[in-house]
Amino acid sequence: MSRVKTAFLMVLGLIWLAPVYLLVVNASKSVDGYDAKTVWKPAGFSLFSNFGDAWSKAALGDTLVATTMYSVIAPVLAVLIGSAAGYAIVVLRLKRGFLWFVFIFGGTIFPLQMILMPLFSGYADSGLYDTRVGMIIVYTAISVPFSAFVMRNFFTGIARSVFEAAVVDGGGLFRIFRSIYLPMAGSALAAIFILQATFVWNDLLLGLTLSQSDSVRPIMPALTGLQSTYGGASLPTVLAGGLLVSLPTVILFLAAQRFFSRGLALGQF
């Protein structure tokens, strides 16, 4: 039975890796060496030159700083706000705490496409359109509900006696949150940060809707410029660009894999 299970998992792994193989193989081909009929066969190695073409043609350097800023600041703010909400609802036993939780988490009920038009109108009227501050605000707001959901579940698993002992020792509510509950939730916080940072980095819809200048728009909308109707880059260059911009999230997952796995278990997703 174990051999059948192992073989089944290996087949699933190969199926999952097939698109990755196609991406790497075809991103490594030269413009002249690419042929739609031989996508499964390697042909030469022009990956780094394709990286350079994608970097220059899509102006990825101009958007890298802004995207890194969004992918760090917004998840950090969401983690802190979500943790504070979970702490208030579970530990401080906020009055009508469950209703507050439903109100916060209710932001995920409606598809993002439903609020794009009023969001765009509000941003245009308030002067937040095509600004880095506006992008950070919207990414933070979208990331808070999931963070609050996970942290509420995590804090539910901590014994009430921990809070009572801290109060007896003279700790203030903020100090207890900062010095006891946040350190205890380190792995869950790391898992939330990784997931939300990946979401922000890979976002296309909000970036296309709420930004237009190279210094503000995220990297994914900039990458779509390679596939424009007029003057679009060759397919190997486009694939190389997609591979290039996906590397930071892969590195993030590999570097924080231990924290992410532990956070999945402790956070009770």
Q: Model's pTM, two decimal places?
A: 0.85
Which one-letter DSSP state was computed for residue 179?
I
- CB atoms near residue 134 (< 10 Å): 19
pLDDT confidence of residue 268: 47
Domains of the chain: 4-45 (no CATH), 52-266 (1.10.3720.10)
Q: For residue 133, what pLDDT is reported?
A: 94
How far lies 176's CA from each of 149, 163, 170, 188, 252, in Å?
20, 8, 10, 18, 30
Alpha-carbon distances, residue 188 vs 80, 156, 247, 260 (angstroms): 12, 13, 23, 8
pLDDT at 269: 43
Give, for all 269 residues of the chain, the pLDDT tens digit. Answer: 677 888 888 888 888 888 888 888 888 888 777 777 777 887 778 888 888 888 877 778 778 889 999 999 999 999 999 999 988 888 888 888 788 888 888 777 778 888 888 889 999 899 899 999 999 999 999 999 989 888 888 888 888 888 888 888 887 888 888 888 888 888 888 888 988 999 999 998 999 899 988 889 898 888 887 766 445 667 888 888 888 888 888 888 777 777 666 655 554 44
What pLDDT, on a 0 to 100 scale, did the predictor assign at position 140?
94
Give the 3-state secondary structure of residue 133. Answer: helix
Q: Could you give the CA distance from residue 90 to residue 235 in angstroms, rounded to a whole number? A: 52
Rounded to a whole number of angstroms, the CA Rg of the chain reads 23
pLDDT of residue 249: 85
